[in-house]
Amino acid sequence: MSGRARAALSPEGQMKFRKLALAVWGLTMGVVTVLALLPIEQLQSPVFDWWDKAQHALAFMVLTVGALLLWPEVGVGVAMGMVAYGVGLELAQWAVGWRFAELTDLVADAVGVLGAWVLVWLWDARSSRA
């Protein structure tokens, strides 16, 4: 929902929308975490798999766009937090034993965070001209 559409809501409607958006974002974070830590019985992945990296980047782009929309006033903190979340996931994968951490996954996560930042910046620039 755009800023203008949200502004058209009553204060109570804005609070309900924010609670719903926060719940959806939190659920998405949970799903990504579970998927990242599920055991993979037969990992048939080459040393560098572009599709895996694209999934990382897309997941982090979606999560970061959501976070930037929820907390636009702390954009740098959101970006740093999402990269820290990526580091945490890689450390958790290393710790569980049935997954493994990869620096290239973390780079893909950071690319997704940067992509989200650019998308939101472009959207804000477009909205301010209208």
Domain positions in the chain:
3-129
3/128 Cα distance (integer angstroms): 10
Distances (CA, A) of 10 to 5, 34, 66, 82: 11, 36, 22, 31
Residues in the chain: 130
With a CB cutoff of 8 Å and minimum separation 6, the contacts of 33 are 89
Answer whether 0.95 is exceeded by the pTM.
Answer: no
Q: How confident is the model at residue 8 (pLDDT cuts 50, 70, 90)?
A: low
φ and ψ at residue 45, rounded to 5 degrees: -120, 130
Q: Which residue has the tokens 């048939």?
A: 44
123/2 Cα distance (integer angstroms): 10
Q: Are 36 and 92 in contact (CB under 8 A)?
A: yes
72/61 Cα distance (integer angstroms): 15
pLDDT in tens, 17-64: 999 999 999 999 999 998 888 887 644 555 556 788 999 999 999 999
